[in-house]
Amino acid sequence: MAGPTRVFAGRRLIYFVLCILMCASFLAAFPAPSCSQELPDAPKPKLIARARKRKVFLALGAAVYAASFLDMHEWIADRSHGHKEVDPLAKPFAQWPAPAYYAAGLALDTGVNFLSYKMGKSRRWRKWRHLPQLIAIAGNLYGYFSSCYRTAH
């Protein structure tokens, strides 16, 4: 009886950490409006906007890595119980050894973050720069929660 309770408590911790990461990324993405007075030595608004964009990019990048790691870790745990991968995008990588699977997943996440960075530098794609990161987070969280649901039932 101690085994399932410990796994359940571990999943609660993972959910808690994931919620904290997501809340931090959304708070960084939508900061509260500032009501400060304009001071002579205050930083220029362009520099403030650039720093805010960097914080949003870094927060979303960390959320991409966290969601991907959760999904990969859950799949490695499920694989040892005989479950089959149903995601057509992950199916070619599903039977790789664990270190290669983690390395490929993190390389893919690095590519997603690089694509988002390059889109942020482009004049044409700047307003869509967060889309690759948000899609990656949503896809990995869907994979993680579907794996949790599959192991629970």
Q: What is the pLDDT of residue 13?
A: 63
Q: What is the pLDDT of residue 107?
A: 95
The DSSP secondary structure of 104-142, one letter per residue, reads HHHHHHHHHHHHHHHHHH-TTTGGGTTHHHHHHHHHHHH
Model confidence at 152, pLDDT cuts 50, 70, 90, reads: low
Cα–Cα dist 151/153, whole Å: 6
Residue 150 has pLDDT above 70, yes or no: no
- With CA atoms as reference, report the closest residue to 60 among 130, 114, 145, 139: 130
Task: Indicate the SS3 state at residue 81.
Answer: coil
Q: What is the pLDDT of residue 106?
A: 92
Residue 129 has pLDDT above 70, yes or no: yes
Q: What is the pLDDT of residue 147?
A: 74
Cα–Cα dist 119/141, whole Å: 23
Q: Which residues contact 24 (CB under 8 A, 6 or more apart)?
A: 59
Q: What is the pLDDT of residue 94?
A: 82
Cβ pair 31, 104 in contact under 8 A: no
- The answer to whether the predicted template modeling score (pTM) of the entire model surpasses 0.85 is no
Q: Where are the chain's structural domains?
A: 2-30+44-152
Cβ pair 60, 130 in contact under 8 A: yes
Q: What percentage of the chain reaches a pLDDT higher than 90?
A: 34
Mean residue pLDDT of the chain comes to 79
The burial of 136, by beta-carbon neighbours within 10 Å (0-12 exposed, 13-18 middle, 19 or more buried), is given as buried
pLDDT tens-place string over residues 13-58: 666 666 666 666 666 666 555 555 555 666 667 777 778 888 999 9
Cα–Cα dist 26/84, whole Å: 34
Q: What is the pLDDT of residue 1?
A: 45
Q: What is the pLDDT of residue 21?
A: 66
Model confidence at 5, pLDDT cuts 50, 70, 90, reads: very low
